[in-house]
């Protein structure tokens, strides 16, 4: 049933994202092409317009990814379409999981489209070796696959955390009889503050010895590589822990306290 | 006989307002039941509680002995008074979606009813009129072989000509062991198909009686309703 839910969730959102990705990449290519005709860019109105449009679409794409994530959850589950979704013979956690996974897919898609468009814009500099992309170069100066893996994992864990904090806020706001949107915003502020306090409390623990020895924690060139690993894994574990909590809140409300208007 | 729907002490409040108050009710299998009451009497609240779209404040509701949940959703076919159709599918897609999730849906029945009501399966849900959307929802609901049909205002928004066809569809399409609960205030139109009636008013159960008993007293359901709910 989870696969079927995801199929319909993907179908519902598929009409939105791929055309925007295509527009972004085409505009990046056009901007690059116009630039190559006139590298100094003086009095180049078409280049200016094309670059501006590219920027609008880039910003719009991220805003849309965010808005669609909220809208799909709210409109499809807690507004009128919820009458259909919640009467399907499907467990509540599968509804949440399908929305979450599809949202992660589009978040990754948007990030990939943005990176690809930047590569297109600077293709000649990359080819000529003028611009080097440094990812996961450790303190000894060599490429570290583990660091890259940790970084990707951290991004995904952070994404899941970001989506679930919003689902939990909307669900919590749903407990209110009136002004549910205001209640959701209030719930978000509470959950975000809670997360920050928790992060600070936890962060102090692993770094306490460091603080005792040096009086401060310094992260930058010269930081032992083990420290990077520590901080990354700690952050991943933190995101997973809070994501589980937010998932549980959302599931509890939608399962036990559902009251569709 | 085990009841298909049973409420005991069922109460639902919204803030200070009591929408349903201490409802005790048993509905048997194999009948067409009218859930009748004026606007705001709690009909929709009762049906939403049966579908787990609302959580009871006190008491409980059971369907075939189960609390509303995964087990009951498989055997209940529900027509809400709201339009739950999304705006990106075609009629054909939503039938496919129902087929994906409900094992008891018959697409043949659905396409046959679409044809009878002159609705094209290729039409986009977004472009359908309000009445046509209601018809599509009713077709989806009646194409299932459910044990309990919960129909909230099934004829409220459609023209009188379609009303007759819809009532005919409701009577002829359900399996004799199933129960159909129809909530409406258009009593005159549904009276002839009902086996049992439930009157509710201001969240309280006023009457639960077989229609034959009402007729034996020389009254019609419509007449009795007007008598009970005189303004």
Q: Is the pLDDT of residue B105 over 60?
A: yes
A4 inside domain: no
Assigned domain for A185 exists: yes
pLDDT of residue B32: 93
Least confident among A96-100, A161-165, A178-182, A208-212: A208-212
For residue B84, the chain A residue with the least C-alpha distance is: A81
Q: A140 and A68: one domain?
A: no
Rounded average pLDDT over A212-234: 67
- Indicate whether B71 pLDDT > 80: yes
Asked which of A5-14, A193-202, A236-245 is least confident by mean pLDDT, the reply is A193-202
Domain range for A75: 16-133
Kindly state whether residue A140 falls inside one of the protein's structural domains.
Answer: yes
Of the residues A100, A133, A166, the one at which a domain ends: A133
**pLDDT, position A204:** 63
In a domain, A3, yes or no: no
Which residues, 6+ apart, have CB-to-CB distance to B200 below 8 Å? B23, B35, B36, B37, B41, B42, B43, B46, B206
> Hey, is the C-beta of A124 within 8 angstroms of any chain B C-beta?
no
CA distance B173 to B79: 15
Mutate to test the interface with B, among A9, A76, A84 (most CBs of B within 10 A): A84
CB contact under 8 A, B14 and A256: no
User: What average pLDDT score do residues A98-115 get?
Assistant: 97
Determine, for residues A259 and B55 on separate chains, whether the beta-carbon distance falls below 8 Å.
yes
- The conformation of residue A11, written as its DSSP 8-state character, comes to H
pLDDT, averaged across chain B: 92
Specify the pLDDT at position A226: 73
Q: Cβ separation of B70 and A90 shorter than 8 Å?
A: yes
| A157 and A129 in a common domain | no
Give the minimum alpha-carbon distance from B214 to chain A in angstroms, rounded to a whole number: 35
Q: Map out the domains of chain B with their CATH numbers.
A: 5-228 (3.40.50.300)
Q: Which residues of B touch A84 (CB under 8 A)?
A: 84-85
Q: Give contacts of B60 with chain A, Cβ < 8 Å.
A: none
Q: Which two three-digit tokens encode residue A44?
A: 């180049």
Structural domain ending residue among the three candidates A117, A133, A149? A133
Q: What is the pLDDT of residue A230?
A: 79
Residue B18's pLDDT is what?
Answer: 92
Give me the percent of chain A exceeding a pLDDT of 70.
85
Q: How many domains does chain A have?
A: 2
Contact at CB, B102 and A178, closer than 8 angstroms:
no
Same domain, yes or no, for A232 and A121?
Answer: no
A141 and A261 together in one domain: yes
Domain end marker among A89, A107, A133 = A133
A8 belongs to a structural domain: no
Residue A175 at interface with chain B, using a CB cutoff of 8 Å: no
The pairs formed by A112-115 with CB atoms below 8 angstroms and a separation of 24 or more are A113/A20, A113/A21, A113/A24, A113/A25, A113/A61, A114/A24, A114/A58, A114/A61, A114/A62
What percentage of chain B has pLDDT greater than the value 90?
76
- B97 touches A at CB < 8 Å: yes
* Distance of alpha carbon A174 from alpha carbon A169, whole angstroms: 9
Q: Which two tokens stand for residue B216?
A: 């034996």
Percent of chain B with pLDDT strictly greater than 70:
99
Of B53, B70, B82, the CB nearest to A258: B53
pLDDT digits 0-9 by tens, B152-208: 998 877 778 788 888 887 777 667 889 999 998 888 888 888 999 999 999 999 999
Q: How far is B144 from chain A (nearest CA, A)?
A: 13
As a three-state string, the secondary structure of A217-244 is: CCCCCCCCHHHHHHHHHHHHHHHHHHHH
pLDDT, chain A, mean: 88
**What pLDDT shows up at residue B175?**
79
Please check whether residue A227 touches B, CB under 8 A: no
Among A33-47, A95-109, B67-81, which is the least confidently predicted range? Answer: A33-47
Whether ipTM tops 0.90, in short, is yes
Instruction: Please state the pTM of the whole predicted model.
Output: 0.91
Q: Give the distance from residue A170's alpha carbon to the nearest chain B alpha carbon, in angstroms.
A: 17
Looking at the complex, report in whole angstroms how far the Cα of residue B51 sits from the nearest Cα belonging to chain A. 7
Q: How far is B122 from chain A (nearest CA, A)?
A: 17
Tell me, what's the pLDDT at A211?
53
Q: Does A104 share its domain with A51?
A: yes
Say yes or no: A113 and A146 in one domain: no
Evaluate whether residue A9 is within a structural domain. Answer: no
pLDDT at residue number A159? 96
Between the alpha carbon of residue B13 and those of residues A257, B49, B62, B69, the distances in Å are 13, 12, 19, 21
Asked if residue A235 and residue A140 are part of one domain, the reply reads yes
Residue A116 and residue A153 share a domain: no
């Amino acid at each position: 049933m989870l696969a079927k839910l995801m199929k319909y969730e993907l179908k519902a959102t598929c009409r939105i994202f791929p055309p925007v990705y295509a527009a972004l990449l085409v505009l990046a290519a056009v901007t690059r092409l116009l630039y190559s005709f006139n590298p100094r860019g003086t009095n180049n109105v078409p280049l200016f317009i094309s670059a501006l449009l590219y920027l609008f679409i880039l910003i719009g794409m991220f805003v849309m990814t965010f808005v669609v994530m909220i809208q799909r959850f709210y409109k499809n589950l807690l507004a009128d379409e919820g009458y259909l979704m919640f009467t399907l013979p499907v467990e509540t956690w599968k509804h949440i999981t399908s929305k979450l996974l599809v949202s992660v897919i589009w978040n990754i898609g948007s990030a990939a489209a943005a990176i690809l468009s930047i590569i297109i814009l600077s293709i000649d500099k990359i080819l000529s070796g003028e611009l080097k992309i440094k990812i996961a170069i450790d303190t000894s100066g060599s490429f570290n696959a583990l660091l890259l893996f940790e970084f990707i994992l951290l991004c995904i864990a952070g994404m899941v955390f970001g989506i679930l904090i919003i689902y939990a806020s909307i669900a919590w706001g749903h407990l209110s009889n009136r002004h549910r949107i205001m209640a959701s915003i209030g719930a978000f502020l509470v959950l975000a503050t809670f997360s920050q306090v928790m992060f600070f409390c936890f962060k102090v623990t692993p770094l306490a010895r460091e603080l005792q020895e040096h009086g401060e924690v310094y992260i930058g060139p010269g930081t032992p590589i083990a420290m990077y690993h520590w901080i990354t894994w700690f952050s991943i574990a933190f995101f997973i822990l809070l994501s589980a909590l937010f998932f549980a809140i959302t599931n509890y409300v939608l399962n036990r306290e559902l009251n569709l208007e | 006989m085990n009841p298909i729907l049973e409420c005991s002490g069922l109460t639902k409040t919204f803030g200070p307002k009591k929408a349903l108050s201490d409802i005790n009710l048993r509905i048997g299998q194999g009948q067409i039941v009218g859930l009748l009451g004026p606007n705001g009497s709690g009909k929709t609240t009762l049906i939403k509680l049966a579908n787990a779209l609302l959580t009871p404040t006190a008491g409980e509701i059971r369907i075939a002995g189960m609390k509303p949940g995964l087990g009951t959703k498989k055997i209940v076919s529900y027509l809400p008074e709201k339009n739950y159709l999304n705006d990106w599918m075609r009629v054909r897609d939503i039938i496919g979606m129902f087929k994906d999730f409900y094992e008891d849906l018959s697409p043949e029945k659905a396409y046959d009813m679409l044809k009878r009501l002159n609705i094209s399966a290729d039409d986009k849900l977004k472009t359908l009129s309000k009445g046509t959307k209601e018809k599509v929802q009713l077709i989806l609901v009646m194409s299932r072989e459910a044990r309990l049909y919960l129909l909230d205002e099934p004829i409220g928004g459609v023209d009188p000509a379609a009303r007759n066809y819809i009532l005919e569809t409701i009577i002829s399409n359900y399996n004799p062991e199933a129960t159909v609960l129809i909530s409406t205030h258009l009593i005159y139109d549904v009276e002839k198909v009902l086996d049992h009636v439930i009157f509710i008013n201001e969240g309280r159960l006023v009457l639960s009686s077989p229609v034959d008993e009402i007729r034996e007293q020389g009254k019609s359901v419509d007449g009795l309703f007007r008598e009970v709910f005189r303004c």
